[in-house]
Structure 1
Amino acid sequence: MFAAKELFSKLRFSYVEQVTKEKFLRAIVGDPPLVVGHNENVELETQLAEVKAELKASKEEVRMMIEEMEKTGRDLANQHRGKARYTDDYVTTTGYNNVELQMTQLSTLPESIENLESTIAELRAKQASDSVASSSQNLPLPATLSLVAEREAELAALNRQLAAVQNALPRKTREAEAMERELGVLERRKSEAITQAKEAERKKQEGESDGLEETGRWYRSAEEALKHLVGVEG
């Protein structure tokens, strides 16, 4: 149980740390930069104190209810030993109803406590982020200039990447258009070939001549004539 609580505390601290870093970076690179005043920090501290007080009150309520349940159990045991049967039944039923009511109330408290703890964690993260962002506005001049130079270098690198993409865009567009035109030609050729194949199949089924056989016979006769002429000349 202790190990689980310790692990949970470490995970929650890591989460708060990451959220704080993210908010800090967003605050200093934003346009305009986020400037946190003293009044906002005071307001957050007030909210945090209120939530802590509410959580403490809830835990105290749980403790008191547990003590009351233990007292009720002891009273029921004493009354069971010292009273008559009918009186004991009445007291037992009444005590059982009280315990059942208290158990119902207790079942809703863990969720409330969990919500309060989550709210406290969020407020602490926000307060830490605001404190870091506020401290960044009060850096010494050398540290401020170094931070500004670092952000300007990052911005310049992003601008170079953007310029490279913009320069390559026209060439990529032309290549895409050429490929699209070539694809259109291939699609038309495919459509024409399919149409011709269907027409040839239809003529074949209907017994019509598609002209290919006549063309083949003409080529064969021309070939024989050429061979004959070549043979005569030789």
Structure 2
Amino acid sequence: MASETPDPLRALQQLEQEQGDLKKRLAIIRISEPISDAGDSNPSPSKRRSDVSMSNWNDPTPASLEADLTHYKELFSKLRFSYLEQVTKEKFLRAIVGDPPLVVGHNENVEMETQLAKVKAELKAQKEEARLMIEEMETMGRELASRMASLLTLLLQWLTLNTCITGYKNVEVQMKQLSTLPDAIENLESTIAGLRAKQVAGMDSSDPRSSQNLPLPATRALLSEREAELAALNRQIAAVQNTLPRKTREAEALERECTVLERRKDEAITQAHEAQRKKQEGESDGLEEMGRWYRGAEKTLKEMVDVEG
């Protein structure tokens, strides 16, 4: 009997040799492995990868959101099935290769089934609660959508009414402008009539040059006269420009002389004021005596000249 009982370690090694590494085979599979399809360029919602970046998040629509929801439901359903399958296989293999092997009786199975029934009932109740909550949220979303549509309709009506009011105001302003147009047209017509009368009076005047409507010979004669005057003015300007440096130097010399004379004038005025002050104060600076002497000398010379004459 002992020889017929298989060695658990030897059986595990033989199983590894036949099926590969059990740790890799018994591990939970990746999410994308059972549902990926690399050869399909347009995967269906139930067979596409679980990468969120592949979803059209930039422009979501109700149809795309519904497809994403269906995809993830199927994805998690397959994930749960794969998880249960792998965990069951792992537990079964660990039970049969354990030392001692794990043996489960009928009573334990009954207890587990009872617990499983309770858990399933709780899960069903939670699912029902979630379903009711989802229905309530959908109802609320529809109500909000209808309210939003009503608000958008009211907003559109308000914008239309506002546009109509603005257009009516613009029409009123234009009507006021049109009401002032007849007076403006009348004023313009009277101004045009006055200008035409002045033009006719200028054409009928005795001086032909006072009008802008001269005949061609008179216009040419007037042009020749103006050109001759312009040439004379140009010659005068050239002559003035030639004499300008000399006149400038003369003006600078005269300005320097004027400056010297102004300075002498100021000095003479200052001396006169000083002499007047001294005279008022009774002081003598010798100028008065010198003046008397010069007068006496002049008188003497005149008498001598008269005597000789």
Give TM-score scaled by structure 1 length: 0.31
The structure that is helix-richer by fraction is 1
- Kindly indicate whether structure 1 or structure 2 has the higher relative contact order, using CA contacts under 8 Å at least 6 residues apart: 1
